């Protein structure tokens, strides 16, 4: 009987697709390089578009002009404080005033998901290895 044959054929295929679903269902990313995950690609793209002019490609900054994000206590520390700095320039103790004559731009217009991807990216690159940031932490930072 045909339906039975189809069932026999499709069951193993269905199982196979379930196994592959984790990678197969990732939304298409603009660039397929960098960290590899969708969040990583989004964060990398946002970093390239918004932060590179000052903090440079490898997060190294410009000595005495723009701080390095590599090994920065502000980047590696409390994610809510980091988000407050980037989104509303509320200065945490890890970013003491008076070190730089130049100013940072405000990025409060970033969506929660995008801000989370961006901060996750800077915490996981340039030799940094801090925990990821999620959208709930961004919302918390905005509410404070």
The residues binding ligand HEC (CB under 6 A) are 50-51, 53-55, 66-67, 69, 72, 74-75, 82, 85-86, 95, 99-100, 102-105, 107, 118, 122
Q: Please, which residue, 37 or 94, has the CB nearer to ligand HEC?
A: 94
Q: Please, which residue, 14 or 53, has the CB nearer to ligand HEC?
A: 53
Dist. CA 115–CA 20, nearest whole Å? 29
Q: How far is the CB of 37 from ligand HEC (least distance, A)?
A: 18
Q: Residues 118, 123, 129, CA angle at the centre, nearest 5°?
A: 150
Q: Please, which residue, 10 or 90, has the CB nearer to ligand HEC?
A: 90
Phi, psi of 66 (to 5 degrees): -130, 130
Dist. CA 142–CA 139, nearest whole Å? 5
């Amino acid at each position: 009987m045909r339906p039975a044959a189809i069932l026999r054929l499709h069951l193993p295929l269905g199982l196979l697709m379930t196994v592959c679903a984790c990678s197969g269902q990732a939304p298409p990313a603009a660039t397929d390089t960098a960290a590899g995950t969708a969040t990583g690609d989004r964060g990398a793209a946002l970093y390239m578009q918004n932060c590179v002019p000052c903090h440079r490609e490898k997060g190294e900054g410009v000595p005495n002009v723009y701080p390095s994000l590599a090994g920065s206590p502000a980047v590696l520390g409390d994610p809510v404080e980091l988000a407050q700095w980037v989104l509303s320039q509320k200065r945490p103790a890890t970013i003491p005033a008076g070190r730089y004559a130049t100013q940072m731009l405000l990025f409060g217009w970033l969506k929660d998901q995008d801000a989370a991807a961006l901060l996750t990216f800077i915490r996981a690159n340039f030799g940094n290895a801090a925990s990821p940031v999620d959208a709930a932490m961004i919302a918390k930072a905005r509410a404070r």
